[in-house]
Chains A and B, each alone.
Chain A
Amino acid sequence: METFANLAAGFGNALTPINLAWALLGCFLGTAIGVLPGIGPALTIALLLPVTFKVEATGAFILFCGVFYGAMYGGSTTSILLNTPGESGSIITALEGAKMARNGRAGPALVTAAVGSFVAGTVGTLGISFVGPLVVEVALKLGPAEYFSLMMLCFVTVSAVLGGSALRGLTSLGFGLMLGLVGIDLQTGQPRLTFGVPELLDGVNVVLVAVALFAVGETMYLAWRHVEGGQVVRPIGKLWMSASDWRRSIGPWIRGSFLGFPFGVLPAGGTEMPTMLSYYAERKLVRPEHREEFGTTGAIEGVAGPEAANNAAAAGILVPMLTLGLPTSATAAIMLSAFQSYGIQPGPMLFTQQAALVWTLIASLYIANVMLVVLNLPLVGLWARILKIPTPQLYAGILVFATIGTYGISNSVIDLVLLYGIGIIAMFMRRFDFPTAPVVIGMILGPMAEQNLRQALTISQGDWSTFLTRPISLFILVLAALALLGPRLWGVWRARRAG
C-alpha cells in the first residue's frame, strides 16, 4: 500500500498550478508536433532539451512526459488522414486507418485512436505504478535466444495470416529484410549492401520507407489510374463513433493495451512488434460479418488495437528507463540524457533516492493522459476537414510534406532518391497485389532478429539446439509452429467433421 501513499504524494505535487501548466504545454506541443510527418517524440524532446538549463527538474520532466504522450496521440492523426506515419509505432495504424478515412469514416477512426490511446495510457501508467518493477525482473531473464524466437513468431504470424497469397507476402517480407541489411554490420563493423554509397552506411530509415510505401506509392498509383475530369471530393461522414463502433473497439483497446505494455517493458521490445501482433490478432478475432472490411473499406478493430498497443508500449518503455537506466527507444534515450543533465542517474535506486520526483512524474502521466483525450476529441472535426481539400492540392501537399519530412532529417538527396525509388516499387506492388506491411516488418525486425541470432549462437558456442533447450524459447517456437499450422489443421479437422 506504499504505492498508494507515494502516488497520493505525487498527485499532490503534480496538481500545483505551475506543474499543471507544464503538463498542458507539453501535451499541446506534443500533439502539434506529433501531427507533422517525419517528426516524432524523440526529435521534439531533443529540441526541448535546452530547457533543462533553466527549469527545475520536476517541471522539465512533466513537460517531457506531456510531449511524449502527446506525440503518441498526434502521430496517429497523419497516419489516418494522409497515410503518412510520423514514427514507426503508428505505421500499422495507417493500414486500416487510411482506408477508413478514404471511405468516409475518418471521424470514427480518429476517435477510436484517441480513446484507445487514453485506455492504453491509463493501463500503461497503472502498469508503471504497480507491476513495472516485477515485469523488469522477468524481462531480465530473457536472452538473445528468446528474442530471436519471438521475432520468428512475428515473421510466421505475418506470413501465415496474410490475406492474399503467402508467396507474395513472403516476397514483400524478403524485400524488407534486404532493406534492413543495408548499412554497417553491428557486430563486425563491415559495410553491407551499401554499393559504395557513403550515405547508406547508416542504413535506410524505416520511417522513410513507410512514407515511400504508403504516401508516395499511393499517390503514384492514383496518378496511374487517374481519370480526367473525374473529381471526387472524399466524404467526411459522421464524426463521432456509432454504438456499433464502440462495441467493436472496446475489445481491441483492452487487448492492445495488455499486449503492448509488456512489450514496452522488454529491453528489446519497442512499439513495433506489439502493434503488428495486435493488428494480426484483431484481424483473426474480428467477427465474420466485419472480416471483409479488413484491407478493403477499413476495419475499426485494425485502428483501435494497434493504436492502444502503441501507446501502452510507449508507456512501458518508461519502466526499464526509470528502473534499470536502460533506454529501449530513441525517445527514452533522450529522456535519459535529460535526467543525466540534472545529475540524476536512473536505475534501481531511483525510486528510493528520488521518490518525490519519480512519483510526481508518474502522477503527471495520469494527468497528461486525461488532458490529451480532452484536448484531442474536439480536434477530430478540425482534422477531418483536411479531407475536404481537392484531390490535386491534397496529393501535391502530401508529396511536399513527405519530401520535407525526409530531406529535413538528413539533408541528403540520396534519401530523396530512395523515397521516390521505393515509392515507384510500391506503386507496382499495389498494382500486382503485394502487401506492403511485411516490408516494414521485415525491415524493423530483420536486423534485430539477426543480432539476436548471432548473439545467441556466440553464447552457446555455435550450438543451434540452444533455441530448443531453453524452455521459454521452445515455448515461443511451438507457438509459432501452431500459428503456422494451427489454422490449417483446424480447417482439415472441421472439413472431416462436416464430411
Chain B
Amino acid sequence: MDTFIQQLINGLSLGSVYALIAVGYSLVYSVLLFSNFAHGGFLVIGGYICYFVLRSGGANIWVASIAALIGAGVSAIVVERLAYRPIRERTPITLYMLIASMGMSIVIENIFVVTVGGRFRALPPVIPTDPVNFFGLATTSAFDILSLVTAVVFLAGLQLFLVKTKWGLAIRAASYNLKTAGLMGVNVNRLISIVFFVAGLLAGVGGIFLSVRYTLYPQLGMITTKAFVAAVIGGLGSLPGAVVGSLILGVAEMLTAGFISSQFRDLVVFGILIITLIIRPTGLFGKSVGEKV
C-alpha cells in the first residue's frame, strides 16, 4: 500500500508538469487547429533564460522566473511571426504549419547546441528538493509538491484569463471559428500572438521545473512528446482534457514502472494513446469542434 501511494504521488507530480506543457499544445491547437511541435523549444528557452539570469545576473529566483516566462512567451510570438504567419496567410492547410513547427523545433534546439553547447547545466538549488514525509505513508520531495501547486496555480490563472478577460473571450470565440471571430472585429493576428505568448509562458514554467528536476540541455524539449500524447489522450484543444490526460499519463507511467517493469513504460503510454484513439478518436474530452476551450 505504501508503495502504491508513493508511486501515485510520483505520478501526479510528473503529470502536473506534463499538464503545463500539454495545455500549451491544446491552447494553440484550439485556435489554429495544428500541433505546434516547436513547443518544447519554448520550454528550453525558458530554462536557459532562468539559468543565465540566476548564474550571471546574481538575481533571485523570482526575477529569473519572470524573465524566463516573458522570454519564453516572447520567443513563442517571434516563432509564430517568422514561421507560421507567412504560411497561415498563404494557405488554409494546417499541415504545412505542422511541418514548419517540426523544423522550428530542430532550429531552436540547434541554436542552443551551437551557442551555449550541449553540456548539462544544473540550476542552482533555488527550489528545495528535501524529502518530505507524508504521515509515514510515503516520502516525496518538497519540489514535487511545489511543482504540483505551481501547475494548479498557473492552470487556474489560465482559466480565469479565458473566462474573465476580453482577450479570453476573444480566444474562446476564435476557438469556435477563427474566421468568423475575425469578421466580428477581433484582431486575429494579435489574438494569435496572445495565444502563443500564453502557451510559451506556460512552457517556460514547465521549463524551469523540468530543468530543476532533470537538468538543462538543448534536447530537454524532447520530454514534450509525452505531454503531446497526454494532450491527445485528453482531447486536443480541450484544456481540462490536457490536464486530465497528463495526470493519467504520469500516474500510468509510474505505476507501470513500479509494478510491472520500467521497460513497459513507453509501451503503456502509447498503448493508452492508441486505445483512446480507437474508442474516442477525439480524445477523452474532445467534443464537437465548438466546445474546444
Q: Do A and B make up one complex?
A: no
